[in-house]
Structure 1
Amino acid sequence: MKIYIKLDSYSNKSLIFAQKQIFNVLKIFNIFNINIVSLPTSRKVYCVLRSPHVDKDSREHFETRIYKKILVVNYFSDLNITNILNNIKFSPEILVRIIDKNI
């Protein structure tokens, strides 16, 4: 069986921490066949005028970055790992999506 776990976060450190959390849970069930796919970082730049009146040249740029990874877990047991992974408590800044695919 194959499970895809997609992780999204605004900070890279919390993404790595969540990845280690998943690895530790899967080690308990003797699942070591995990592939990591790093996706490109999406970046959005926002431009804000400092002065609302005359100075169009004075602008500030702000950006948000979203770091993404996909963990591909291959396992050959009868365990229902999706329920186990749904019970892990992640920090609120991490978006976790679990996609279960049968081979």
Structure 2
Amino acid sequence: MTYQNKIITDYILATLEQHQIDIEQEMDINNLISKKIGKLNHGQDIALDIENHSLIGIHKLDNFEDTSIISKDSIIISYRELEAIYYETTSF
């Protein structure tokens, strides 16, 4: 797991908990992030695809057009949010 993936995983888990979103027991968040997100670059966002208060998928969004593949209840996490966490939590 990379440092970026750790920040993303921790933030996603906290966001899901904050919004009281259920995670299926067989769903491995770390594995999903590695497979679906990989490396997140400036300008990209993450969509937590939510349906009936349950996480059904994670997607990388490159632009507005990509929002056509996610449900209306999805939670979008911006690169800037994650970058801010990096600067707040990393010792230089």
Give the TM-score band, short-chain normalised: 0.3 to 0.5
| More contact order relative to length (CA 8 Å, sep ≥ 6) | 1
- Of Structure 1 and Structure 2, which has the larger fraction of its residues in helix? 2
Of structures 1 and 2, the larger Rg is shown by 1
- Of Structure 1 and Structure 2, which has the larger fraction of its residues in strand? 1
